[in-house]
Chains A and B, each alone.
Chain A
Amino acid sequence: MAITATKGQTGLTGNSAVAYAMKQINPDVCAAYPITPSTQIVEDFSGYVADGEVTTELITVESEHSAMSACIGAAAAGARVMTATSSQGLALMWEMLYIASGMRLPIVLANVNRALSSPINIHCDHSDSMGARDSGWVQLYSETVQEAYDNVFMAVRIAEHKDVLLPAMVCLDGFITSHAIENISLIEDQEVRQFIGSYNAKASLLDTDKAPTFGAMTLPDTYIEFKRQQSEAMTRAKGAAIEVMKDFGKRFGREYGLFETYRLEDAEAAIVVLNSAAGTTKVAVDALRKEGKKVGLLRPRLFRPFPWQEIAGALKGCKAITVLDRADSMNAFGGPVFSEVRSALYDLDPRPRVMNRIYGLGGRDYKVKDAVEVFNEALKAAETGRVETLVKYITL
């Protein structure tokens, strides 16, 4: 029996909610090295381990590189593995992220988005997970604590899906989501177990009969085939995500899609933005709609794989679109979400104007007035068909 949205409500921070989801999943192994602002995930979870509430083998390691290495070793042995990190921690995992995905190990990682040094900053932006966008991990983004909690379960299912078998990253905004207490609906343990099922790895490092070799060397005669195999799995991950999100909605009453749209149907100008900033943007949408301005929002949830056809389909009625990036690609051509969205819209006819605004780096507040400004600029571009400034920094 699916629980309703009003049952089992409790106030939790984003971090506590993720840790609680991990407790309910009860992974075989968790190897982690705490880092701000994701510290509380590992802290809470180590409490569950110490209290015997989970049977997880918690490996406390000396660095995030080692954390991901231990996760990979455990996953190669056939374990269900989870970890959490942020910012520099994810950066230190870099080398291993590619190995986890290349070895097709469905590790689930909660990444609490935080800016990258230098200068050092512990607050929210998406530089960390955006830098990892090409590492072969499935990426799910979460606006709220509830969504972060729900995404953890969906990430497990998508990662372990027979058509996918890729690691998955659940991203939530540092401090804004990770440290804010929200009243959320919890799923019962029994229902979590039914939803995620059990994981049976295709090959195990502990199989001494078959004696498989993991991490073998491939020469130019085979490497590209393995990469194509991985790429095809990433392509299939979209279908798997749709299937998993549908099943989640059916069981627990909370509907999720590849992205969320807000008052987009007849919008002339739209903002595309990830994570918590969407909440602020929705307030601006409502305010401008009251003034009769046709504005809307699209918030991608699944960023890897990037559902470009669906996003283009949803934005095709808009005349001007501003993509907000909480990370800069440092390519002198805008942020990563901008590049993807603009490319996705290239085939549309008529082709909407697409601009990029870099906002909120290092935790700078993004306020309703910022969103209103962005919308007004986009409405002007929609009217004139001209873009005055393609890329610029806002919230300065």
Chain B
Amino acid sequence: MVEKKEYPLGGVIPKGGTAHDYSTGGWRKLRPVVDLDKCTSCLICWVMCPDSAVVTEEGKMAGFDLEHCKGCGICAAECPDKVKAIKMVEEAE
């Protein structure tokens, strides 16, 4: 017999932020790659990212959270024309 799983009362998700444990990286067709030598850490990519997938350290761009990045390319598109530090590359490559 299958043991009855416990479900929280009334569909409440008892703890916040559990989506962090859910990987959406597999949705990605294009992967963002940052050239940190070119990057000025203006953080426009960070503020525009729909998936909270731009990682910052001490107020500086530090790379991407590829578990959550869906490869939408907004970061690359929003990276200022003078900088263009982010490139989207085929995930298959």
B-contacting residues, A202-257, CB 8 Å:
202-203, 210-216, 218, 222, 225-226, 229-230
Cα A387 to Cα B67 in complex, Å, equals 70
> What residue of chain A has the Cβ atom nearest to residue B17's Cβ?
A211
B16 close to A225 (CB less than 8 A): no
Contacts of B82 in A (CB 8 A): none
**B7: which of A103, A212, A229 is its contact (CB, 8 Å)?**
A229
Inter-chain contact count A-B, CB under 8 Å? 47
Q: Does A102 contact B (CB under 8 A)?
A: yes
Cα A236 to Cα B14 in complex, Å, equals 23
Cα A104 to Cα B17 in complex, Å, equals 22
B7 close to A213 (CB less than 8 A): no
Cα A103 to Cα B11 in complex, Å, equals 6
Q: Which of B9, B10, B13: most chain A Cβ within 10 A?
A: B10
B13 → chain A, closest Cβ, in Å? 4
Give chain A's interface secondary structure class: loop
A104 close to B13 (CB less than 8 A): no
A202 close to B9 (CB less than 8 A): yes
Cα A212 to Cα B5 in complex, Å, equals 20
Q: Does A165 contact B (CB under 8 A)?
A: yes
Contacts of B8 in A (CB 8 A): 203
Chain A contact-residue range equals: 20 to 34
A102 close to B11 (CB less than 8 A): yes
A396 → chain B, closest Cβ, in Å? 45
A226 close to B15 (CB less than 8 A): no
A112 → chain B, closest Cβ, in Å? 28
Cα A213 to Cα B13 in complex, Å, equals 5
Contacts of B17 in A (CB 8 A): 211
Chain B contact-residue range equals: 10 to 19
B12 close to A213 (CB less than 8 A): yes
A-contacting residues, B55-83, CB 8 Å:
none
A199 → chain B, closest Cβ, in Å? 14
Q: Does A105 contact B (CB under 8 A)?
A: yes
Contacts of A218 in B (CB 8 A): 11
Cα A46 to Cα B8 in complex, Å, equals 36
A-contacting residues, B1-44, CB 8 Å:
5, 7-17
B52 → chain A, closest Cβ, in Å? 16
Q: Which of A102, A213, A214, A222: most chain B Cβ within 10 A?
A: A213
A216 close to B12 (CB less than 8 A): yes
> What residue of chain B has the Cβ atom nearest to residue A226's Cβ?
B11
Contacts of A214 in B (CB 8 A): 10-12
B-contacting residues, A119-177, CB 8 Å:
165
> Scoring A residues 314 to 356 as 1 if CB is less than 8 Å from chain B, else 0, what string do you get?
0000000000000000000000000000000000000000000
Cα A350 to Cα B15 in complex, Å, equals 55
Cα A212 to Cα B9 in complex, Å, equals 12
A203 close to B9 (CB less than 8 A): yes
B14 close to A210 (CB less than 8 A): yes
B16 close to A222 (CB less than 8 A): no
Contacts of B14 in A (CB 8 A): 203, 210, 212
The 21 listed contacts between A and B (C-beta, < 8 Å) are: A103-B11, A103-B12, A104-B9, A203-B9, A203-B12, A211-B16, A211-B17, A212-B12, A212-B14, A213-B12, A213-B16, A214-B10, A214-B11, A216-B11, A216-B12, A218-B11, A222-B7, A225-B5, A225-B7, A226-B11, A229-B7
Residues of chain A having any CB pair with chain B under 8 Å:
102-105, 165, 202-203, 210-216, 218, 222, 225-226, 229-230
The 6 closest A-B pairs by CB, nearest first: A211-B16, A104-B10, A213-B13, A103-B10, A104-B9, A216-B13
Residues of chain B having any CB pair with chain A under 8 Å:
5, 7-17
